Amino acid sequence: MKTNTMSYKFKQYLLFAGISTIIFACVVIIPFIYGLYLTFTSWDGVSRNKPFVGIDNYVSAFADSGYWTSLGRTFIYSAIAVILVNAVAFIIAYMVTSGIKGQNFFRAGFFVPNLIGGIVLGYVWKFVFNKALVELASTISSGHAKSLLATESGAIAALIIVSVWQYAGYMMLIYVAGFMSVSEDVIEAAKIDGCTGTQSIIHISIPLMTASFVQCLFLTITRCFMVYDVNLSLTNGDPYGSSALAAMHVYNQAFINKDYGTGQAEALILFIICAVIGGLQVYVGKKGEVQA
Amino acid sequence: MENEIAARNKKIKHAIMIIVLAILFVAFIFPFIMVIINVFKVKSDITANPLALIGRHGFTLENFPNAIKKMNFFRSFGNSLIVTIFSTIGTIILSSMTAYLIVRNNWMANKILFVTMIASMVIPFQVLMVPLVSLYGGIFGVLNHRITLIIMHIGFSLSMATFMFHGSIHTNVPISLEEAATIDGCNKWQIFSQIVFPILKPTIATVAIIDAMAFWNDYLLPSLVLGRKELYTIPIATKVFYGTYSTDTGLIMAALLLAMLPILILYLFLQRYIVEGITAGAVK
Domain for residue B284, yes or no?
Answer: no
Q: Per-residue pLDDT for A290 more than 60?
A: no
Rounded Cα distance, B71 and B53, in Å:
26
Mean pLDDT score, A70-83: 94
Mean pLDDT score, B257-284: 84
Residues of B in contact with A100 (CB under 8 A): 14, 17-18, 21
Q: How confident is the model at residue A1 (pLDDT cuts 50, 70, 90)?
A: low
Say whether residue A251 is in contact with chain B using an 8 A CB cutoff: yes
pLDDT, tens digit, 9 for 90 and up, residues A112-143 = 999 999 999 999 999 999 888 888 888 887 77
pLDDT, tens digit, 9 for 90 and up, residues A240-283 = 888 899 999 999 999 998 889 999 999 999 999 988 988 888 88
Domain for residue B230, yes or no?
Answer: yes
> Which pLDDT belongs to residue A288?
67
Searching chain B, which residue's CA lies closest to the CA of residue A218? B122
Q: Quick count: other Cβ atoms within 10 Å of Cβ A74?
A: 24
Say whether residue B265 is in contact with chain A using an 8 A CB cutoff: no
> Which pLDDT belongs to residue B1?
60
Say whether residue A179 is in contact with chain B using an 8 A CB cutoff: no
> Which pLDDT belongs to residue A14?
92
Residues of A in contact with B49 (CB under 8 A): 135
Beta-carbon separation of A270 and B126 below 8 A: yes
Q: Closest Cα to residue B117, out of A154, A82, A21?
A: A21
CB A230 within 8 A of CB B105: no
Q: How confident is the model at residue A292 (pLDDT cuts 50, 70, 90)?
A: very low
> Which pLDDT belongs to residue A2?
65
Rounded Cα distance, A117 and B4, in Å:
49
pLDDT, tens digit, 9 for 90 and up, residues A182-240 = 888 888 888 888 888 788 888 888 888 888 888 898 889 988 989 999 999 999 888 88
CB A21 within 8 A of CB B155: no
> Which pLDDT belongs to residue A244?
92
Could you list the beta-strand ranges (E) of B65-134: none
Q: Based on the domain organization, do B191 and B142 belong to the same domain?
A: yes
| Of A76-80, B14-18, B133-137, B202-206, highest mean pLDDT | A76-80
Question: In Å, how far is A278's CA from the nearest CA of chain B?
Answer: 6
Say whether residue A110 is in contact with chain B using an 8 A CB cutoff: yes
What CATH number did the domain enclosing B166 receive? Answer: 1.10.3720.10
> Which pLDDT belongs to residue A210?
84
pLDDT, tens digit, 9 for 90 and up, residues B200-233 = 998 999 899 889 999 999 999 999 999 899 999 9
Searching chain B, which residue's CA lies closest to the CA of residue A89? B24
Burial class of residue A30, CB neighbours in 10 A (0-12, 13-18, 19+): middle
Query: In angstroms, how far is the first alpha carbon of chain A from the final one?
Result: 45
CB A157 within 8 A of CB B266: no
Searching chain B, which residue's CA lies closest to the CA of residue A221? B122
CB B271 within 8 A of CB A108: yes
Residues of B in contact with A38 (CB under 8 A): 130-131, 134
CB B71 within 8 A of CB B244: no
Q: Based on the domain organization, do B201 and B155 belong to the same domain?
A: yes
Mean pLDDT score, B101-124: 92
Q: Per-residue pLDDT for A61 more than 70?
A: yes
Q: Closest Cα to residue B157, out of B95, B209, B67?
A: B95
Q: What residues contact residue A53 under an 8 Å CB cut-off, 6+ apart?
A: A40, A41, A42, A261
Rounded Cα distance, A120 and A106, in Å:
23
Domain for residue B20, yes or no?
Answer: yes
Phi/psi at A41 (5° precision): -125, 160
Q: Per-residue pLDDT for B59 more than 90?
A: no
Question: In Å, how far is B125's CA from the nearest CA of chain A?
Answer: 8
Phi/psi at A28 (5° precision): -115, -55
> Which pLDDT belongs to residue B283?
55
pLDDT, tens digit, 9 for 90 and up, residues B118-150 = 999 889 999 999 999 989 988 888 889 999 999
Q: Based on the domain organization, do B10 and B149 belong to the same domain?
A: no
Q: Based on the domain organization, do B43 and B100 belong to the same domain?
A: no
Please give the radius of gyration of chain B, using alpha carbons only, rounded to the nearest integer. Answer: 25
State the total domains in chain B.
2
Q: Per-residue pLDDT for A73 more than 60?
A: yes
Q: What is the ipTM of this complex?
A: 0.89
Angstrom CA distances, A47 to A39, B136, B138, B252, stand at 16, 14, 9, 38
Please tell me whether residue B83 adopts helix, strand or coil conformation: helix
Which residue range(s) make up the domain with B208?
A: 71-245
> Which pLDDT belongs to residue B252?
92
Rounded Cα distance, B106 and A270, in Å:
34
Beta-carbon separation of B116 and A29 below 8 A: yes
Q: How confident is the model at residue B255 (pLDDT cuts 50, 70, 90)?
A: very high
**A277-281, B1-5, B10-14 — which is least confidently predicted?**
B1-5
Q: Based on the domain organization, do B133 and B202 belong to the same domain?
A: yes
**More confident of the two residues B53 and A165:** A165
Say whether residue B100 is in contact with chain A using an 8 A CB cutoff: yes
Residues of A in contact with B234 (CB under 8 A): 117
Beta-carbon separation of A17 and B102 below 8 A: yes
CB A230 within 8 A of CB A160: no
Mind listing the domains of chain A with CATH numbers? 67-291 (1.10.3720.10)
Domain for residue B164, yes or no?
Answer: yes
Q: Based on the domain organization, do B10 and B75 belong to the same domain?
A: no
Q: Based on the domain organization, do B230 and B184 belong to the same domain?
A: yes
Q: What residues contact residue A93 under an 8 Å CB cut-off, 6+ apart?
A: A171, A172, A173, A175, A176, A178, A179
Q: Based on the domain organization, do B200 and B234 belong to the same domain?
A: yes
Q: Based on the domain organization, do B169 and B241 belong to the same domain?
A: yes
> Which pLDDT belongs to residue B46?
83
**More confident of the two residues A246 and B54:** A246
CB A211 within 8 A of CB A290: no
Q: Please give the mean pLDDT across all residues of chain A.
A: 88
Q: Closest Cα to residue A270, out of A42, A70, A30?
A: A70
Domain for residue B207, yes or no?
Answer: yes
Containing B201, the helix (H) or strand (E) segment is helix B201-217
Rounded Cα distance, B111 and B71, in Å:
47
Domain for residue B279, yes or no?
Answer: no
CB A225 within 8 A of CB A216: no
Q: Based on the domain organization, do B97 and B179 belong to the same domain?
A: yes
Q: Closest Cα to residue B254, out of B237, B270, B271?
A: B237
Domain for residue B94, yes or no?
Answer: yes
Q: What residues contact residue A213 under an 8 Å CB cut-off, 6+ apart?
A: A86, A178, A206
CB A85 within 8 A of CB A168: yes
Rounded Cα distance, A78 and A160, in Å:
8
Domain for residue B55, yes or no?
Answer: no
Q: Based on the domain organization, do B149 and B12 belong to the same domain?
A: no
Rounded Cα distance, B118 and A8, in Å:
26
Q: Based on the domain organization, do B8 and B137 belong to the same domain?
A: no
Query: HEC states along chain A?
Result: CCCCCHHHHHHHHHHHHHHHHHHHHHHHHHHHHHHHHHCCECCCCCCCCCCECCCHHHHHHHHCHHHHHHHHHHHHHHHHHHHHHHHHHHHHHHHCCCCCCCHHHHHHHHHHHHHCCHHHHHHHHHHHHHHHHHHHHHHHHCCCCCCHHHCHHHHHHHHHHHHHHHHHHHHHHHHHHHHHHCCHHHHHHHHHCCCCHHHHHHHHHHHHCHHHHHHHHHHHHHHHHCCCHHHHHHHCCCCCCCCCCHHHHHHHHHHHCCCHHHHHHHHHHHHHHHHHHHHHHHHHHHHHHHHC
